[in-house]
Amino acid sequence: AQSVSQHNHHVILSEAASLELGCNYSYGGTVNLFWYVQYPGQHLQLLLKYFSGDPLVKGIKGFEAEFIKSKFSFNLRKPSVQWSDTAEYFCAVNEENYGQNFVFGPGTRLSVLP
């Protein structure tokens, strides 16, 4: 079965630090990849997605992610975080044939210190 792992449970950074959150998935076929953010008390919001094409994907709020097929990875990056980026971040994978579950990673909590 498909699984998604995220490397860190909780990341603490100071403002202006660079961010990289790891995401790995297990399925070997064609996948669609997503990063979502959830601010405290709010619902999920899409940060960025990858379906095909350029493996370097740019999303909202200065986030980007790189799909490395050989490593089954889709890491999220931001060069300089802000206090307002404090949130929970979820990586998710959906198999191309849409016949399987939409699988989420366990989430990484990001705390940015002012």
- State both tokens at 104: 């989420």
**Closest to other proteins by CB, 28 or 40:** 40
Quote the CA–CA distance of 31 and 18 in Å, as a whole number.
27
Of 23, 24, 4, 1, the closest CA to residue 99 belongs to 1
> What are the residues facing 13 on neighbouring strands?
112
Q: Does 88 bind other proteins (CB under 8 A)?
A: yes
User: Residues touching other proteins: how many (CB under 8 A)?
Assistant: 21
Quote the CA–CA distance of 31 and 42 in Å, as a whole number.
27
Q: Does 40 bind other proteins (CB under 8 A)?
A: yes
Site for other proteins in 15-34 (CB under 8 A): 32, 34
Residues of the shown chain interacting with other proteins in the complex, contacts defined by CB under 8 A: 32, 34, 36, 38, 40-41, 43-44, 46, 49, 51, 88, 90, 92, 94, 98, 101-102, 104, 107, 109
